[in-house]
Structure 1
Amino acid sequence: MTMDRRRVVGSGLALGVAALAPEARAREPVFRHGVASGEPAPDRMLLWTRVTGLDQPTGRWRIATDPGLRDVVGQGAFATGAERDFTVKVEASGLKPATDYWYQFEAGGQRSPIGRTRTLPVGRTDHLDIALACCAMYGMAYFHAYRAIAERRNLDAVLFIGDYIYEYGASTYPGLAAVRQVDPPRDTVTLDDYRRRLAQARADADLQAAHQRAPWICAWDDHEIANDDWMHGAQHHDPAKDGDWEARKAAAVRAYYEWMPIRDPDPADPYGIQRSVAFGDLATLIVPETRLKAREAQLTLAKDLDRLPDGRPDLDGFRRKIADPARRMVGQQQIDWLAGEMKASVAAGKPWVLLGSATVMADYVYPDMSRWAPASGPMKGFFELTKLELPMLNLDGWSGYAAERQRIYDAIRASGARTVVLSGDSHMAFVNELHDDRGRVAVEVSTSTLTGPSLGVVLEMKDTPFGQRLAERNRDVLWCDPLAVGFVLVHLTREAVETSFVAVADSRAPTSSTFVQRRARAVAERDGVSAWTQSS
């Protein structure tokens, strides 16, 4: 592809293709999947789109300093094809730091929607506004949360921390029917399957609006491939039915890179999605890869909870397995990288480190909920298992990889980084304070699913005090809402971090309002970050 970096002023020269011949015009919407931006930097930005229905899938792009695209500062040509599912990525360079830009594509006689993006700041930076989001199940609800993100007045970036799609076919939740049919109507396994599932999501107007609003910083979790995945398999992968794991993984990763506004991978590091992003002299955002580079298989109660000679469960033995120093989620290479990024951030005088984690970092066990167990049904046994007061579904998170989590805590302490963890995955909303044997290490806010179903609904705990008991039982947990659906707004200044959990009133209704359900604030202290203060 060729790109002209020269500054072009005036709409007359903006694209050079203002009037294409009628026969070049497509018969269907060319840009039905919208536009997006990502990989923000002070002087450049990656721009994304997809073209549909063109015999010759070529076109042009432009970027300008105004919403009307009159003051054009960059433009170029693009070409795509079936080998990348007709997706397009271009890099606009020569941009100014901390500046809003607007961009557009043109092909087949049609123009795309206009997207807005913003470059990263350099030097003195006094505030930062991020939307933290994850877990979007297209079939189970509507994307009202994305619309609410798009309508934010102040938004520098979106941190999407994982589960952009789900691999499931029909709903597997008892009593909870799908509100929209997914495509394909089966589990995604092949390259075509993953491409179709991503295309369906990207055709949604609310998701398109969120992408058009601000640059995205993206990380995958497990459902972009299969539930509870790790290097060599997944809970939701059956080789007898789904075929070779490596082939499925390669297909899902290829489709993800095609459809997301991120750089294509280095062939030598195909899972190198980890990122470090500098927001001027205010903060460094560090996001490790937690699934495919180093993760070992998750522990489970069914497989790994042994029995003592008298038949009782060996709880101490299970806890020793959790604490095994050999267990890996991100691997030592990434921990060394993370530690280096933290040290460099502190050395540069930045008051904050934001640590993006696909899963909840807080240590917690499930409280005893047996007294609320249903009289019968599939969840009765689950409620009874909570008597053990062990990590359960969160064994897939950091509660199942305790020794490596401690190595991250050690890196935080060694660097002196004032750290805020931004996480997701659990389908619950959390406000947490992270501890080790020496005391508080960092604070964490964890967002719930954008769409639902929440974990409280799935576990049939809607009418129980599960969230309250979870907070009472676990030192790290200050607040938990197991029914929450929505996203988190993070407002960072030099003095404090302020978070707001924005809840969707009814994600399964065609229309819904949103409201701020919970606020939390922590301030910068000389030796770290204060405890959270909260308000509802």
Structure 2
Amino acid sequence: MTRIPRRHFVMGSLASATLAAPFGIVRGAPVTFSADPYTLGIASGCPRADSVILWTRLAPQPLEDGGMPDTPVEVEWQVAEDEKFARVVARGAERAISELAHSVHAEVRGLQPDRVYWYRFRAGKAVSPVGRTRTAPAGRRARVRFAFASCQQYEQGFFSAYRDMATRDLDLVVHLGDYIYERSWGSRHVREHGVGIPTTLAEYRNRYALYKSDTDLQAAHAALPFLSIWDDHEVTDDYANDTSYTVRDSLQFLKIRAAAYQAYYEHMPLPASARPRGPDATIYEHYRFGDVMDVLLLDDRQYRSASACVDGGRPTWIVPCAERIAEARTMLGQAQEKWFNERLGDCRARWTIVAQQTLMAQDRREADDGDRYWMDGWDGYPTARRRLLDALATHRTRNPIVIGGDRHAFFASSLKRDFARSDEPTIATEFVGTSITSDGPGEASTRKALADNPHLAFARGDKRGYATVELDEKACTVGFEAVEDVKDIRSGVRRLATFVVEDGTRGPRAT
């Protein structure tokens, strides 16, 4: 594996693009900008053995709907084997159009597997910072290292976790949703959204622009390719398919969802296959990383059944009704469940990573009036969870690891078909990462979760951060990386806990 002095690369690439060799002669009509058009940074994503997606958005006035004219702009891109672009291996041009907020999603093909590449853009005479990406391996590979993250409420803390992530020796980042927050909440804000809740395309674009203006987030995107899925706050809190407790008119909500999905696509390194069609978009996908890892990205928001037992209200901790266990209830939708089952049959790597949005393990809370469950998560859809775990068991999936976010706490657990039976075999191992910044549950909450759910091996919600995963022939090693003080922009990151899952076993083991 090629070793790169990551910290030096990140610092240098974001500081200046003028050190790299020039593109050459400017083509077409001259294009000028009122300010730097790359205010939102650059990014790469969706790495395969021979391709990667390169992203940027021209936005000289990022919080004023970009500040671009309605006319298209040609944006050139280059990919090289070296940071100074002496060995350019691919180049091309994309039309950045106003209908997509002058964003660019360049699908670069014909690359070599398991290779580090550098990339950059040019519009007119404006050259972007230099980014670093990596293609997926195609065959045998000693190991794969990645981070997973979620829940980055801009107001509640600084993105120090991303600054740390950018310096790590990682192959990629898996983002599990809540990339933006649509509403202001929480306490001890260190910065502000400055405006209200977005409902229109222009407002969602401005919210993404605010978040992506953060230099630590830009550094992580410039250093590492991302695989990304959404959760609820990219649209609105705790929505389910076409229903929302905050917007009761489903037609009006679908208009909002269409705007939110388009803004998500415009600001993430996603392929054209993920481009929304009105309020619909396909983000679930299968990625392979040689013989080490298969990744199945899931979407548990867009197709799920309406929240049970809450009569249109907010899904929260309640004593459930009979509706919760109805066989027809789904978290993924019938088509995605079928796709998941089919893709499991094609997972041939040593480790299968099921990347989804939230805690999959049961989180039962005993109470005097009956057991309570959180209805917005998998506990609100237990038959759908059982079908997913049955699929893993039926296919005898080798070393299944489920990862999630959403809960603003670290969890490690054993996933079982029937959590009430102590002798039930473990089907998969689960790790949930805490939030990048969003406020988490108190100590009493996580302590009760551990007391009431013996299949939970670890739960802690007082720290913000992310998780790292290293996979090799012998084991999956997961580190819970905690920011020391999310309110301090200079804060460091330290390892909070480490877990190992050995090849051929099920369940986390603390080390």
Q: How high is the TM-score relative to the length of structure 2?
A: 0.87
* Structure 1 residues 431 and 245, CA gap change in structure 2 (3 angstroms): same
Q: Percent identity?
A: 30
Cα pair 1:42 1:98 within 8 Å, conserved: yes
Work out the CA distance in 2 between the residues paired with 1:508 and 1:38: 29
Work out the CA distance in 1 between the residues paired with 2:124 and 2:133: 24
Misfit runs of 4+, over 4 Å: 18-21, 53-56, 266-269, 300-305
For 1:70-149, list aligned pairs within 5 A.
70-149=86-165
Work out the CA distance in 2 between the residues paired with 1:410 and 1:421: 14
* Cα deviation 1:393-414 (Å, max 9, x = unaligned): xx11111100011001110011
Work out the CA distance in 2 between the residues paired with 1:468 and 1:485: 17
Cα pair 1:136 1:165 within 8 Å, conserved: yes
* Structure 1 residues 301 and 244, CA gap change in structure 2 (3 angstroms): closer
Which residue of 408, 421, 428 maps to 1:427? 408
For 1:74-473, list aligned pairs within 5 A.
74-152=90-168, 154-168=169-183, 170-171=184-185, 173=186, 176-183=187-194, 185-239=195-249, 244-264=252-272, 265=274, 270-292=280-302, 294-300=303-309, 318=320, 320-345=322-347, 348=348, 350-368=349-367, 388-392=370-374, 395-417=375-397, 418-437=399-418, 438-456=424-442, 462=443, 464=444, 466-473=445-452
Cα pair 2:146 2:469 within 8 Å, conserved: yes
Cα pair 2:408 2:434 within 8 Å, conserved: yes
Give the C-alpha shift of residue 106 in structure 1: 1.3
1:6 match: none
- For structure 1, which runs of at least 5 residues remain unmatched after alignment? 1-10, 306-313, 369-385, 457-461
Give the C-alpha shift of residue 388 in structure 1: 3.5
Give the C-alpha shift of residue 33 in structure 1: 0.8
* Structure 1 residues 64 and 167, CA gap change in structure 2 (3 angstroms): same
1:309 match: none
Give the C-alpha shift of residue 238 in structure 1: 4.7
Larger Rg: 1
Give the C-alpha shift of residue 331 in structure 1: 1.9
* Structure 1 residues 478 and 367, CA gap change in structure 2 (3 angstroms): farther
1:375 match: none
Work out the CA distance in 2 between the residues paired with 1:299 and 1:270: 23
SS of alignment partner, residue 488 of structure 1: strand
Work out the CA distance in 1 between the residues paired with 2:381 and 2:403: 18
1:52 match: 59
* Cα deviation 1:291-323 (Å, max 9, x = unaligned): 11x211113568799xxxxxxxx95xx353322
SS of alignment partner, residue 217 of structure 1: strand
Work out the CA distance in 1 between the residues paired with 2:281 and 2:441: 29
Cα pair 2:331 2:384 within 8 Å, conserved: yes
2:507 match: 531
Kindly tell me the number of residue pairs found equivalent between the two proteins.
Answer: 473
Give the C-alpha shift of residue 467 in structure 1: 1.9
Cα pair 2:150 2:435 within 8 Å, conserved: yes
Cα pair 2:75 2:96 within 8 Å, conserved: no
The amino acid that maps onto 2:207 is R
SS of alignment partner, residue 342 of structure 2: helix
Work out the CA distance in 1 between the residues paired with 2:310 and 2:364: 13
Cα pair 2:245 2:313 within 8 Å, conserved: no
2:35 match: 28
Give the C-alpha shift of residue 453 in structure 1: 1.0
Give the C-alpha shift of residue 336 in structure 1: 1.9
Give the C-alpha shift of residue 212 in structure 1: 0.7
Give the C-alpha shift of residue 246 in structure 1: 1.2
SS of alignment partner, residue 388 of structure 1: coil
* Structure 1 residues 237 and 509, CA gap change in structure 2 (3 angstroms): farther
* Structure 1 residues 429 and 300, CA gap change in structure 2 (3 angstroms): farther
Q: Give yes or no for the alignment of 1:37 onto 2:36.
A: no
The amino acid that maps onto 2:178 is D
Work out the CA distance in 2 between the residues paired with 1:319 and 1:416: 33
Cα pair 1:364 1:476 within 8 Å, conserved: no
Q: Give yes or no for the alignment of 1:511 onto 2:511.
A: no
